[in-house]
Structure 1
Amino acid sequence: MNDLLITELMQLQKEYCNILLDAIEKVFQEDTNAILDEINVFWHRNKKLVRCALEYLSKPYSTYLFTAATILDIDDYEHYPFLCLGDYHIWDDPIYGYIKMVMASPNEQFNEQIKNQVFNTIHDNIEILNSLDGKILILPVRMLSGTEPSLIHEAAMQTFLSLFKEKITFEIYRKTYSTIDDVVSILKDGMEKYVTLDDDIDSQLELKERFFHYKQSTELPLPVDSSDATIFWFSVYGFLAQVFDILLTCIQYQLVPYIRYSVAFRYLIIISNNFKDNNEISEMLFKSVVAHILHQTFDKETYSQLTMEQLIESVKTYNFEQQLFSALKDEGITLELPELQKTAEIIDQQLRLCLSEKIPN
């Protein structure tokens, strides 16, 4: 079954590459919406195959999904740490998300930025398809997952409203609060430090100051006269909805979310408290935490001396993932007791045992 699936998926990847090659020539000459629509139609035409692959490609939680990102930069060797874990690897094609953004946005400047991002992502996807020999599959997993948007919306809204001291509805929030001072004044005690807007902003700054940095540096698909409270809601709700979408999709198909983006990762950790009594989901989330730390600490300068084939061979021969999680278990490291610095040290130790012999002198 897997051989047949892989054969069909490889053909699907070739067909998608041809569509992208055609699209990249049209991005700045033709209507971007039409290009996005063509890509959208392609994936919906092939959604049965994609869903079948997600169901049957590998054992539960043995496929890692690189998600919550706009680019997987193989020129910067971002695929190297990704390939260290799991039996199969999927890049969650983000182009589908741009379709929704462009359709919903009244902000022309934002739409122009989206057009540039579409071009960059298409170019990146083509490079993945042409350079990695099928080692990483490109599939719009969240687009085709079938997760109910209303379920994601309800979960994200509930979580957003739970940030505040008093029990309020969104209607009350929208009508009553306007400035960022208003918002900060109603947050639960200690909640400021958990609200993250951008990983480039100093987390030690007060939330009000971080918000203004974010507001000034980020183009959002909102009317230019939107209030601070609206911008705050839109941003935090957006991250929460993204993470709930990822979690529900990964639970549905028994995938492990591989999240590079620190902001999305922090919200994943916050939401993970809701699943602490479910052993299977907790194990999946622990794998996701370890994958994030691996990505952030991976010594690309050293390990990029290896070819991709040497990396994959070493990882398989050493049985890196099993050895890593066995070492973490021996140290008593779990989702509840992650000990980030110790985890990073164990990852580094296991990588050196796995890969150092192949590094040229």
Structure 2
Amino acid sequence: MLRLGDLTIRYGTSVAVDSVDLQVATGEVVALLGPSGSGKTTLLRAIAGLERPSSGTIMWRDADMSAVPVHRRPFGMMFQDYALFPHLSVARNVAFGLEVTGADDVGEHVAESLRLVGLDGLEDRPITELSGGEQQRVAFARTLATRPELIMLDEPLGALDRELRTRLLGEMSDVFRRLGQTVIYVTHDQEEAFAVADTVAVLEDGRLIQSGSPDALWTAPKTEFVARFLGFPVVDITADGAHAETPWGALPCTLPTGRHRAALLPDAIAIGDDLAGTVVARSFVGGRWRATAQPQSGTALEVMVRNRPEIGSDIGISIDPDGWASVGQSRDDDTTEEVQA
């Protein structure tokens, strides 16, 4: 198990990682999710031993690793740029870490790692003759080859197109599950984080804001930042336990009586008759259409529909009363302006 205790990293007066507490269980996949500058990569580098913490602890199986050099940590790391050697073959790239550490049965480990990532048969292929997806698999195989107790991945799929990224993410997840591998996965993409991780930890300005299962974060964001980062509309509302006054008018809502800063969950928005809108945009997504509807007041809402909606057509929207999450106190008793996601 990995435990971070009050971990802080400073560069002069700038705080890159601010008092982070985090636990990663054996066999768990944890995604560090956040925008650029949130501290997720710096935190990963500290765990790897590439950054020295200013304070706090990095515990691995009850041993403090904070001052342990990189090469003595039982961890493996895969970088975004893959860091492959273009003059070496696939097999020699995968074998590199094993040869440096003087491991036994190098050929056996290389063959097994290439089999896991679906590259068996390409052992002698030059790296320069591989596609981007194949190069990603080589980098992944090299990380697996040394059998690290903890694997860390820093935006490993960021350079790939969306279709290839989705396919490789599924393959990597399958390998993690089969090996029972402990993983920390850094990404700025919430869909990627939710697809791969058992636990998602959201960071903002070096602070760990919320962590939990993908389902828990999606259905119960705790702060406005988390809700907005996940793409939810956030508004001020006045609730009475059954309905709420919102920028869109009176809508069903089961939040407790009072004023709230509230996120409207995307799954709560469907076709119905709580609210009338006009279709102003549409896009085809995974067998259904996403219609962007503009009500008479408030900002536009997105709703999924089966049939192709016509621009300018009327559309009825329903709101699930349980589809609101309180993310803080109302900002202003007199305003219901929406903060865009």
Does TM, normalized by the shorter one, top 0.5?
A: no
Select the structure that is richer in helix: 1
Between 1 and 2, higher relative CO (CA 8 Å, sep ≥ 6) is seen in 1
Select the structure that is richer in strand: 2
The structure with more radius of gyration: 2
Normalising by structure 2, report the TM-score.
0.28
